[in-house]
Homo-oligomer: A and B are copies of this chain.
Amino acid sequence: MSAPAAKNRYGVSRVRLLKVGRRSDRHEVKDLTVSLTLDGDFGAEVASVDNRHLLAPETLRNTIQALALNTPPEIGEEQIEQFGARLADYLFAGHPALTSVTVEVTEAAWARLNADGKPHPQAFVRGVDEQRTAHVTATRASMHFDVGFDGVFLLKTAPTSFTGYKQDPFTSPSETGDALLAGTLTASWRYNSADIPFAAVWHGTRQALLDAFAAHQSRSPQHLLHALAQAALASYDEIAGIYLALRRRAWPLADLSRFGLDNRNELFLPADAPESVTEVRLIRPTP
């Protein structure tokens, strides 16, 4: 038997960083979590029990910290997409055996604390659970960016008309749509270039998705996500494609009719766990 084909990847996960920008009149904070994965031709050294082409996890953690501390002055306020690209470039430059580097950066939101009626220059409160995400996938030939957000928990109290589904022997008899929609939206869209005004496009695309969510009269989760994906593609030509996932939770109406109480779409029983998932991926056709 010939030897099995081997593929190795390794890296560090969840390296946490807080960067404080100390301006004369106020501080700025960036709260990042970084994971880093390296691929390459490491087969030989594994077989020969030779680590000389591998980087130690501690080396990788130090590298992430060192590059986070020393942002080149020409970059200014660095976006997470730029930080990921800079990490990949640094690693390729120093390590010829590397063929692929993946960097995942997530940024948690901190809001300035309002104190005595005005924003405080040095005090902050943790914001919503939403995380801004950038997943940078680099080879020596190309780099692309899958960016977006994770964990935006949305609620719409307008009735949905999720009806007319295919009948099956196990379809429940009474199918009426839901009185509200609750779910967590994850979005990830792709740029095939590093020459993007990252902050502006991220904020604009996020708002286009939320505007579409608020406005859309959806007939199914698929219908809704398709409309959101189209709104994002229509917003910026830089977006080559988008992936959306909606994890809905069942928040049924409380049924108190056996006690003579009439619940007119007022009281719901929230479930803490998602119960269904819908995913849509839209790819812009190449011209």
How far, in whole Å, are A55 and B222 apart by their CA atoms in the complex? 12
Which one of A17, A58, A263 has the greatest number of beta carbons of chain B within 10 Å?
Answer: A58
Residues 33-51 of chain A: 1 if any B CB is under 8 Å from the residue's CB, otherwise 0? 0010100001001110111
Other-chain contact of A51, B63, B94, B163, B248 (Cβ < 8 Å) = B163
Sample of 8 further A-B pairs with CB below 8 A, known A10-B221, A19-B266, A37-B277? A11-B276, A29-B157, A49-B219, A54-B220, A56-B175, A95-B168, A124-B156, A128-B128
Q: Can you identify 29 A-B contacts, CB atoms within 8 angstroms?
A: A1-B285, A2-B285, A4-B241, A7-B280, A8-B279, A11-B277, A14-B274, A16-B269, A16-B272, A17-B254, A17-B270, A18-B180, A20-B265, A21-B266, A29-B157, A49-B220, A51-B163, A54-B165, A56-B162, A56-B171, A60-B276, A62-B259, A69-B254, A113-B154, A114-B210, A115-B211, A122-B157, A123-B213, A125-B210
